Amino acid sequence: AQKVTQAQTEISVVEKEDVTLDCVYETRDTTYYLFWYKQPPSGELVFLIRRNSFDEQNEISGRYSWNFQKSTSSFNFTITASQVVDSAVYFCALSVTSGSARQLTFGSGTQLTVLP
């Protein structure tokens, strides 16, 4: 069975602060994918990043960066110089194969509020 834990239920920061969202996962599969999605108040889940279990290279994309560590089963997400538009619920998710399609296991989400 798969499990994703986002221990931070809510985080509130002031604009321009850096913020890190934590994600810890559990799986017995050796091949898996990890994802981060953003859900603004409008409701749409927006795909941010995907990492496979064989690629521990960290990534930076603009103000976003991700730290994947298999040794600690963590896939953390950092926003630098946060902006009000970053306010949303962020979901970490784990994907393993189920038949011919992959199923996503979501964490419970972290509500990020960036104050002006």
Partner 1 sequence: DTEVTQTPKHLVMGMTNKKSLKCEQHMGHRAMYWYKQKAKKPPELMFVYSYEKLSINESVPSRFSPECPNSSLLNLHLHALQPEDSALYLCASSHGKAGGRGDTQYFGPGTRLTVL
Which residues of this protein are in contact with partner 1, per CB under 8 A? 31, 33, 35, 37, 42-47, 50, 52, 91, 95, 97-104, 106-109, 111
Output b/e per residue, 35-63; b: 16+ Cβ within 10 A.
Answer: bbbbeeeeeeeeeebebebeeeeeeeeee
CB nearer partner 1, residue 35 or residue 114: 35
CB of 13 to partner 1, least distance (A): 20
- Min dist. Cβ of residue 67 to partner 1 (A): 18
Min CB(101)–partner 1 separation in Å: 4
3-state helix, strand, coil in the chain (%, to 5): 5, 55, 40
